[in-house]
Amino acid sequence: MKVLVVDDERDIQTLFEQRFRKEIRSGEMSFVFAFSGEEALTYLNAHEQEAVLILSDINMPGMSGLELLEHIKAKYHKPPPVVMMITAYGDEENFNLAKKLGADDFLTKPVDFTLLKEKLKPIQ
Amino acid sequence: MIIQPILALIIFQQLRKFLQTKEQLPYWDKVFKIGSGIAVVIMFFYSVAKNIQFILPLVSDALLFGAAWLVYTKNELNRAKSNLYAYVPVIIIYSISDIVRLISSSFHNEWGTYFETAKLFGIIWLAAMFIINNRQRKALEKERLKAEQIEKESRITAKIKEQLEVQVKERTAEITKQKEALEHTLEELKSAQALLVQSEKMASLGELTAGIAHEIQNPLNFVNNFSEVSAELIDEMNDAIAKGDNEEVKAIAGDLKQNLDKINHHGKRADAIVKGMLQHSRSSSGTKEPTDINALCDEYMRLSYHGLRAKDKSFNATLHSNFDSSMDTINIIAQDVGRVILNLLTNAFYAVKDKQRLLNATPNAPAYAPTVAISTKKQNGSCIITVTDNGNGIPQQVLDKIFQPFFTTKPTGEGTGLGLSLSYDIIKAHGGELNVETMEGEGASFIIKLPV
């Protein structure tokens, strides 16, 4: 399963690579990282259908995670990939807006990787 | 001739009147009344007793002389001396004439013309004196009236002066009272101003809080997860040691070291954010410290952007930063200048957001990319910080007022109107300048110039 992680924090790559080191080593999962919404869209345009799951931060300079979500769900990829939103705000409003825009799930920072792995199991 | 008793009568009555004997000299009043009575009796005898007529002029003369003598010798009557001057010639001429006639009637008749001329002269003298006296009296009366008038006026003036003094006292009391009231109001205003400055600080702190919440979650995310994953790595390392796989142990140890570095880095980052927040809420310590202006701008740009995004999720803007890497640290009160930068950025975001809102409400509006830029530059020994937005700009009629306290274009309750005013004061206090360049519809640039 290919996962696209979108976040403006560069250390997120090291974190994911360590957290999923077993899955990566066994070849169960592979990760691609984009550090802005724009970068993520460029990747998706170039590698259609590759990413099954997209994990995106909401608050990023430039295109926000919610805008990216809107783009993906409205204009790209049939069938659209699973999109999970990650944000620092665990508030109702963001949650509802993300849901409305078609987000499949919602995670808050700091990310609970045990929870994330459980959420990923049924998709695999 | 009946003229002497008439004259005597007139003199007595005049003396009584002039000396006001009735009230002031009752004794002399009686004497003058008797004199008057004698004059009347003489007149009576003139008309009835023809046989004693020759003696009557002499009696009359004696009466007149008596009156004159009294006036000239008695101290209490001396005042009336001048009244008699007019009568003196007449009295003397008549007396001489009468005495001469008594001694030698023929001589009197011989020089009759001269006597008559002298008498006429005496009468004319009397009349002239009378007229002069009268005129003088009138003039004196006029003077007296004038003096009275002046006195009356001065009395009125004094009265007015008194009234004025009372009024002045009242007014002074009133003014003092007003002054005290104003001083009191000023005190109240001062404390209200202090409160407002504090509330402006708190308002910008509120704007920051949301940004801080986001900013602090990111480092926390790394601290939590890197420490957890490190614990897992240690388990794996123990397994590798048991297996004797030295390569794996070394690789894991390398990862662990890297993770510890990251935990340290992000812990410090969280620490800096919290410190920044505390610094912002604390009142100015007033000490200037060497500050990395690029780092300060970067920090506040992130905070203000995330703060705005936290409030309005639908909003987005492009951020440009262009920092001059040759910039040295400059001596400033970092939290104060930080507040200025935050304020300018918040305003810039507000401006682009407002333009977007307006364009969204307009059909067929041109595409718009809200953009806010911050840049630093070293220029002629000054540090220039520029905050630019591509909002709607500032209208000319508003431009003069933007640095005035309490001036705001925001809806009531949204802005204190103190942001730019405080910013201006802070930059001035640093010996710098805060200027604005704007083009309506195109955007605005706020330029901070600080001495290095």
Do B313 and A97 lie within an 8 Å CB cutoff? yes
Would you state the CATH architecture of domain A2-105? Answer: 3-Layer(aba) Sandwich (3.40)
Band of the pLDDT at B285, cuts 50, 70, 90?
low
pLDDT at A13: 93
pLDDT at B257: 94
Taking the Cβ of residue A94 and every Cβ of chain B, the question of whether any pair is shorter than 8 Å is answered with yes
Residues 6 or more apart in contact with residue B127 via CB below 8 angstroms = none
Q: Which of A12, A89, A97 to mutate to test the interface with B (most CBs of B within 10 A)?
A: A89
Residues in chain A within 8 Å Cβ distance of B233? 18
- pLDDT per residue as tens digits for the range B366-404: 888 899 999 999 988 899 999 999 999 998 888 888 887
CA distance B317 to chain A (A): 6
Residues in chain B within 8 Å Cβ distance of A64? 309, 313, 316
Q: Which of A8, A10, A14, A115 to mutate to test the interface with B (most CBs of B within 10 A)?
A: A14
Q: If you average pLDDT over residues A75-80, what whole number do you get?
A: 66
Would you state the CATH architecture of domain B287-452? Answer: 2-Layer Sandwich (3.30)
CB pairs under 8 A between A and B: 64
Q: Which of B212, B220, B221, B306 to mutate to test the interface with A (most CBs of A within 10 A)?
A: B221
Closest CB to B214: pick one of A15, A89, A110. Answer: A89
Q: How confident is the prediction for chain B on average, in pLDDT?
A: 85
Domain boundaries, chain B: 3-157, 287-452
Domain boundaries, chain A: 2-105
CA distance B441 to chain A (A): 22
Q: If you average pLDDT over residues A29-33, what whole number do you get?
A: 92
pLDDT value at B32 more than 80:
yes
pLDDT at B281: 59
pLDDT value at B412 more than 80:
no
Taking the Cβ of residue A110 and every Cβ of chain B, the question of whether any pair is shorter than 8 Å is answered with yes
Taking the Cβ of residue A93 and every Cβ of chain B, the question of whether any pair is shorter than 8 Å is answered with yes
- Assembly ipTM: 0.86
pLDDT at B297: 92
Searching chain A, which residue's CA lies closest to the CA of residue B236? Answer: A22
Closest CB to B221: pick one of A14, A97, A109. Answer: A109
Residues in chain B within 8 Å Cβ distance of A89? 213-214, 310
Do A18 and B220 lie within an 8 Å CB cutoff? no
pLDDT at A91: 63
